[in-house]
Amino acid sequence: MAGLLDGRVALVTGASSGIGEAAAIALAKAGARVALSARRADRLATLVQRIEATGGSAIALPGDVVDEAAAKAAVERTVAHFGRIDILVNSAGVIQSGTIENCDTAEYRRVLDVNLLGTLYTCSAAIGPMKAQGGGDIINISSQASRKVAKIFNSYSASKFALNAMSEGLRQEVGGYGIRVCQLLPGATRTEVADHVSDPALRSAMQAHVGKEGAVEASEIADAIVFVAALPKHVNVDIISIRPTSDTAP
């Protein structure tokens, strides 16, 4: 399978569904060999089969990015299997509802652990190998919620604001080594992200939001990921905002 990313190796977290799954498929179609990380091993196995059936190369690395050792091991196992890591896509993410007063702090902590710290762990582990090979791409999936706050989804916005800050600091840290960092900010995108919101009413509202007519498809976010990774090495597109055309909010 030859393409824009022929010969490169990508690790995608959150690869069992949504943007992560779509990114893995698009990267493989563009010629990259892909390592797939997520908690749901059965879905990863199915995705590996789909990619290999079309001539691609993929491995499944089941694990939870909240576990620092497991997150870093995903990077290490990618390098051990494929010999390098050129692209890291941090797509693992969760959303929960709730304000600050009387919040479920365990839920709040889980959102921060997955969306911020899970990304920190894989980024930290990938820097060394990318430096050694002379460069790489780190693409962190943020959100439009990193630009504006909805009080009822406080933890989600907090995690994504922090993710943007971490990503920009990382860009400044590693750009001199040929490592590019991109923050990708999707708006309403048709995925399963809302399915685990604990409040039933807010779950339904968020499901309607991401599933509305005109919502962005996960495959369209994946196309942007391939675009970023395929750019000339001296060009770093560091922020991409993708929203439905019908979204006229500021």
Where residue 194 falls among pLDDT bands split at 50, 70, 90? confident
Q: What is the pTM of this model?
A: 0.95
Domains defined along the chain, listed by start = 9-242 (3.40.50.720)
- How far is CA 111 from its chain centroid? 14
Known catalytic residue at 156: yes
**Confidence (pLDDT) at 68:** 98
**Mean pLDDT confidence for 28-48:** 97
Mean per-residue pLDDT, 49-68: 97
What DSSP assignment string belongs to the chain? --STTTT-EEEEESTTSHHHHHHHHHHHHTT-EEEEEES-HHHHHHHHHHHHHTT--EEEEE--TTSHHHHHHHHHHHHHHHS---EEEE-------B-STT--HHHHHHHHIIIIIHHHHHHHHHHHHHHHHT-EEEEEE--GGGTS--TTBHHHHHHHHHHHHHHHHHHHHHGGGTEEEEEEEE-SEESSGGGG-SSHHHHHHHHHHHTSTTPEEHHHHHHHHHHHHHS-TT----EEEE--TT----
| The pLDDT value given to residue 193 | 87
The mean of the pLDDT values for the chain is 95
